Amino acid sequence: MAVLTDASRREIWAKWMRENEDPVSIVKSDLRAAFNALDDFMNTNATAVNNAIPEPAKSSLSTPQKARILMEVIRQRFVKGS
Amino acid sequence: MAWDLVFSAEAGHGTAVAFITGIDGAATPDLENEQYVLNFDPSNDNAAIFRGVVPEGYASGSSTTVDIYWHASTATGSSVNWEVYFMRCQDVTTDISSTAQFNSTGVAISDTAHSTVKYAQAVSGTITNANMDAVAAGEEFLMLVVRDAAGDANTGITCLRAVKLSQT
């Protein structure tokens, strides 16, 4: 797996800025650096995340299905109610 | 003779037409605490267009002051770049159906977002008659307001509240 293309990173960075409703005190380049770093992190640690999923889910679920599990866990832990 | 001409946000509308090179989206209408505004995206160069008539007291030999009234929706303390362009609508001369009529040089006006979001802000620039497409007193004109999002640092939507043109 490779990191996202520059166009893909730009797309999600732009979407985040458009949809964010909470105050932000950093500039665009610093925000973009956060997207780049998290994409790099996911690229480096994708195998470790997959290995954290127990069987039979690990082998039975598709990559998008497992990604949505990760999204729901992150949303519940860090986004919901914030 | 001093004069001013005020355009509140509801006097214009968003446009994605490439009147000026670089425009890649239309500003969108919104309400902030029951006040009509035009929202400009942080990642695309949005535009809004207004139409007016040059006051009879207009002096073509003097610069015109352009005041932008705006507020930041979510991002504080970072630069926001506005640009304003003009198109003269000259009697029996200007083809108003053409999209290539705006003067390609306008006025660039940069401001820094307040440290708290949703505070009213105002910033000024000046523009020459030549850069106003050589408008003359009594003539109709079009005004294009653009956010140079590619060139500024503000991560949030910026809201245009009004524009004022004046000479003293």
pLDDT of amino acid A82: 65
Tell if the CB–CB gap between A27 and B44 is shorter than 8 Å: no
B12-27: per-residue pLDDT in tens? 999 999 999 999 999 9
Task: Tell me how far apart the alpha carbons of residues B113 and A53 are, in angstroms, rounded to a whole number.
Answer: 45
Task: Tell me how far apart the alpha carbons of residues B47 and B148 are, in angstroms, rounded to a whole number.
Answer: 9
Would you say B93 and B50 are in contact if contact means Cβ atoms under 8 Å apart?
Answer: no
User: What class has domain B3-167?
Assistant: mainly beta
Interface size between A and B, measured as CB pairs under 8 A? 49
Task: Tell me how far apart the alpha carbons of residues B105 and B132 are, in angstroms, rounded to a whole number.
Answer: 8
Helix (H, G, I), strand (E, B) or coil at B149: helix
ipTM of the complex: 0.83
Task: Tell me how far apart the alpha carbons of residues A41 and A33 are, in angstroms, rounded to a whole number.
Answer: 12
Name chain B contacts of A12, Cβ cutoff 8 Å. Answer: none
A21-52: per-residue pLDDT in tens? 999 999 999 999 999 999 999 999 999 999 99
pTM here is 0.90
What is the bridge-based pairing of β-strands B140-147 and B79-89?
antiparallel
The alpha carbon torsion through B15, B72, B67, B147 (nearest 10 deg) reads -40
Residue A7, token pair as written in the block: 């166009």
Tell if the CB–CB gap between B74 and A31 is shorter than 8 Å: no
Task: Tell me how far apart the alpha carbons of residues A11 and A27 are, in angstroms, rounded to a whole number.
Answer: 17
Domain ranges, ordered by start, for chain A = 1-51, 54-82
Task: Tell me how far apart the alpha carbons of residues B74 and B154 are, in angstroms, rounded to a whole number.
Answer: 9
What is the bridge-based pairing of β-strands B107-112 and B121-127?
unpaired
- In angstroms, the Cα distances linking B109 to B82, B124, B129 are 5, 7, 17
